[in-house]
Amino acid sequence: MKHIIFLIAYIYFLYVDVRERKMELSALVIYAIIALVALGFTRESITFSKVLDILLSMAFGLVIYLLSFFSDEGIGLADGVYFVINGLLLTLKENLVLFLTGMFVAFIVGIFLFYFGNTKSRTESRIPFMPCFLPAIIGYIVCIV
């Protein structure tokens, strides 16, 4: 159930980020509430290691949020909030893989736009970050199916 909630939220935020280049706080709050409810209804036993993994995964998202706050939204504040909420649904390892894959893809896209894009794409340094997670999401779907 957690995987389905994560994938539906990703598809929604991907659409919004590409279309509007921003994410609404209300949608993030709804995602957080749904993630908390899903966490409460899991049939897994809650152990200390499970709670620790959730806290570490959320702390990783908080680090991304603080990084974006202090880097003049180099990543995006909403992306940081998205990773904090993902900490409720994903393990720390899954959250890290998602983020690092997104950074790698953003790096490749940025290099491609710099060398092969027009003058406007060289000067406009903002690209939506959510589409960069797509390779990790496809791998995630393949692994859980």
Helices (H), the chain: 2-20, 25-40, 48-70, 77-89, 92-116, 119-123, 134-144
pLDDT at 45: 74
pTM for the full predicted model: 0.85
Q: pLDDT per residue over 7-49, tens digit each? A: 999 999 999 988 888 888 899 999 999 999 988 887 677 788 8
Residue 14 CA neighbour count, 13 Å, CB half? 13
| Higher-confidence position of 141 and 119 | 141
Residue type, 138: I
User: Would you state the structure tokens that stand for residue 74, as one six-digit string?
Assistant: 């180099």
Kindly indicate the confidence band of residue 117, based on its pLDDT and cuts at 50, 70 and 90. confident
Q: pLDDT per residue over 93-114, tens digit each? A: 999 999 999 999 999 988 888 8
CA distance readout (Å), 104 to 15, 47, 70, 110, 128: 21, 34, 21, 10, 14
d(CA 90, CA 93): 8
pLDDT at 32: 93
